[in-house]
Amino acid sequence: MENREEFLVAIARKLGRPVRHIPEAMPEPVNTLATTRLTELTSDQRCEAFIKFASEVMLAECVLVSPENAPSTALDICWKFGSGPVIISNDQRLVDTGITPLLQKEMDAALWDPEKGDENIHLAEKAKTGVVFAEYGLTESGGIVLFSAPERGRSVSLLPEASLFVLRKSTILPRVAQLAQKLHDMAQEGQRMPSCINLIGGPSSTADIELIKVVGVHGPVHATYLIIDDCD
């Protein structure tokens, strides 16, 4: 880069200090709350705190069920949202829980198919309910984390009127710091990173006008977290 040294000298002079070619060491953090807050909680306590914040602040409905009751509960939730079309993320975990087969049988639910291209988006636009499997829950914010992939399109959770997020209790993390660590570990192991990572906190809402919270402005009006109790 031409004139690099002159440029650095000019900046340093304006700052009233010598030119630095080696960055200074980062100062020691005042505390470790960024990485330790809420980590002392047990899985049961994290789940309770997650449900409390998600339901009271983020206005999401939370339902805790056993693995055996997950399919029937998911069906009940979809019927509660209405008899309109249902679209399901093409996620093997939803198949393994029994949710996908039951919704296809009882509600003729459509399955996201990456080979269908834009037809998937049209199905999601018309759907009453979208069903997805969440990677993680975040205790601190009451939000859930979604990883997108060709078979797990973002539109499934964004375009329908209602969203049903299926989440394993064991994957509820304390806060974003632990999510960042997991993403770092994925990168270090050479795993392919998701094309998009969505952090979703309940139904669509805004409080831009006079700090009055209004639900259903930019996306789904309803959001339900179906939490599968997989902890012994």
Tell me what the pLDDT averaged over the chain comes to.
Answer: 91
Distance of CA 112 to the CA centre of its chain: 18
In order, the DSSP letters of 63-102 are EEE-GGGHHHHHHHHHHHH-SS-EEE---HHHHHTTHHHH
146 located within any domain:
yes
79 located within any domain:
yes
> Looking at residue 69, which CATH number applies to its domain?
3.40.50.10420
Q: Where are the beta strands (DSSP E) in 81-177?
A: 86-88, 110-111, 129-133, 136-138, 143-147, 162-168, 172-173
What are the residues facing 87 on neighbouring strands? Answer: 110, 130
221 located within any domain:
yes
State the residue range of the domain holding 71: 44-228
How do 143-147 and 110-111 pair as beta strands?
A: unpaired
Q: Does the structure show a pLDDT above 90 at 204?
A: no
Distance CA(213)–CA(217), nearest Å, equals 10
140 located within any domain:
yes
Number of domains into which the chain is organized: 1
Distances (CA, A) of 173 to 41, 53, 78, 131, 200: 10, 14, 27, 21, 14
Rounded to 5 degrees, φ, ψ at 193 are -80, 145
Instruction: Convert the pLDDT of each residue in 131-168 to its tens digit.
Output: 999 999 999 999 999 999 999 999 999 999 999 999 99
199 located within any domain:
yes
15 located within any domain:
no
Instruction: Convert the pLDDT of each residue in 179-203 to its tens digit.
Output: 999 999 999 999 988 989 999 987 7
10 located within any domain:
no
* Percentage of the chain lying above the pLDDT 90 cut: 72
186 located within any domain:
yes
